[in-house]
């Protein structure tokens, strides 16, 4: 069974209060999944009337770890070439390893989510803050602009979180003298290794509730306003699926005729010969 990563981790350096006090809620429109705490429509998000029933989990825990390593074998080959033609033989290897780990444990996790309709998306992008952002020169003249609609949030309470990070460097090798020229089929010389390691660990706890993670739909403003699944860079797996795409999957097209800034432009590829451009 495969699991599609759907939820993005909120920043833990500055906890986000839950709605309605905090800035993030269902229907928030954000510019980047790396900064969910700054939604464009913080004070005028369209209310969600058809949210799914909350899902409450207890004694929730997730562990995430990763390790990378790199060896410098080319360095050893270089030393061999440098001593070519002499009885001296040198072999040195350098290995770098880094590891990170995170442990998240919560007393309760409450999931809030909804599936936005075409009508909801149309109303959400009409809000003044979103329209003002779309009118900025950088967005106005770009052929492809994206925003992200928050369709799910996970609220955690009674949190115990631990982050760990470690680095290790190991140097090993030997320098020997080839005695085969003297009739002895062996190489003698010193051999040894050197290791340096560094580790850092941070633990924190929080009893009050906060927004731990969120999921989004991608809003792409181009020749048409498109609503897509989006999971690039996501953190948590929350269900089975057949694919995990970096670019997202088109699921809906939204009629742009009701968007205030939309204008009709000719397009011979469409059935009626025109499309709505929300950036014009």
> In the prediction, which pLDDT does 11 show?
83
> In the prediction, which pLDDT does 183 show?
57
Q: What b/e string do you get for 36-57 counting C-beta neighbours within 10 Å, with b at 16 or more?
A: bbebbbbeebbebeeeeeeeee
The domain in which residue 55 lies consists of: 3-277
Cβ atoms of 45 and 28 closer than 8 Å: yes
Tokens of 26: 């269902």
Q: How far apart are CA 9 and CA 214, in angstroms?
A: 7
Q: How far apart are CA 267 and CA 277, in angstroms?
A: 11
Q: How far apart are CA 146 and CA 144, in angstroms?
A: 7
> In the prediction, which pLDDT does 88 show?
52
Mean pLDDT by 10 residues, the chain (280 residues): 74 87 96 94 93 95 80 50 53 78 92 94 94 91 91 95 84 62 56 75 90 95 89 69 38 47 42 40
Residues 6+ apart with CB under 8 A from 173: 76, 90, 91, 92, 93, 191, 192, 193
> In the prediction, which pLDDT does 64 show?
79
Tokens 């809906």 belong to which residue? 252
Cβ atoms of 105 and 159 closer than 8 Å: yes
Tokens 């010193």 belong to which residue? 190
> In the prediction, which pLDDT does 48 show?
95
Q: How far apart are CA 130 and CA 46, in angstroms?
A: 12
Q: How far apart are CA 44 and CA 23, in angstroms?
A: 11
> In the prediction, which pLDDT does 99 show?
84
- Of the candidates 164, 140, 156, 158, the residue with the CA atom closest to the CA atom of residue 65: 164
Residues 6+ apart with CB under 8 A from 233: 8, 33, 34
Predicted structure pTM score: 0.67
The count of domains in the chain is 1
Residues in the chain: 280
């Amino acid at each position: 069974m495969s699991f599609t990563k759907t939820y993005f981790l909120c920043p833990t350096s500055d906890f986000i209060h839950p709605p309605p006090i905090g800035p993030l809620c269902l229907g928030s429109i954000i510019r980047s999944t790396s900064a969910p705490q700054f939604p464009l429509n913080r004070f005028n998000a369209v209310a969600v009337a058809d949210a799914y029933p909350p899902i409450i989990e207890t004694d929730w825990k997730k562990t995430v770890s990763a390790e990378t390593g790199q060896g410098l074998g080319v360095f050893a080959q270089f030393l061999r070439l440098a001593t070519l033609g002499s009885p001296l033989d040198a072999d040195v290897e350098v290995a770098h390893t880094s590891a990170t780990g995170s442990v998240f444990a919560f007393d309760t996790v409450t999931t809030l989510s909804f599936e936005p309709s075409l009508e909801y998306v149309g109303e959400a992008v009409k809000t003044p803050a979103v329209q003002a952002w779309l009118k900025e020169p950088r967005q106005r003249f770009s052929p492809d602009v994206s925003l992200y609609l928050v369709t799910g949030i996970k609220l955690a309470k009674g949190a115990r979180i631990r982050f760990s990070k470690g680095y290790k460097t190991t140097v090993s090798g030997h320098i020997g003298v080839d005695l085969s020229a003297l009739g002895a089929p062996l190489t003698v010389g010193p051999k040894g290794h050197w290791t340096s390691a560094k580790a850092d660990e941070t633990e924190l706890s929080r009893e009050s509730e906060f927004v731990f993670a969120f999921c989004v739909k991608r809003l792409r403003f181009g020749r048409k306003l498109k609503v897509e699944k989006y999971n690039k860079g996501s953190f948590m797996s929350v269900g089975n699926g057949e694919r995990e795409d970096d670019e997202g999957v088109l699921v809906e097209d939204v009629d742009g005729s009701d968007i205030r800034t939309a204008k009709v432009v000719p397009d011979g590829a469409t059935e009626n010969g025109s499309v709505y451009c929300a950036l014009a």
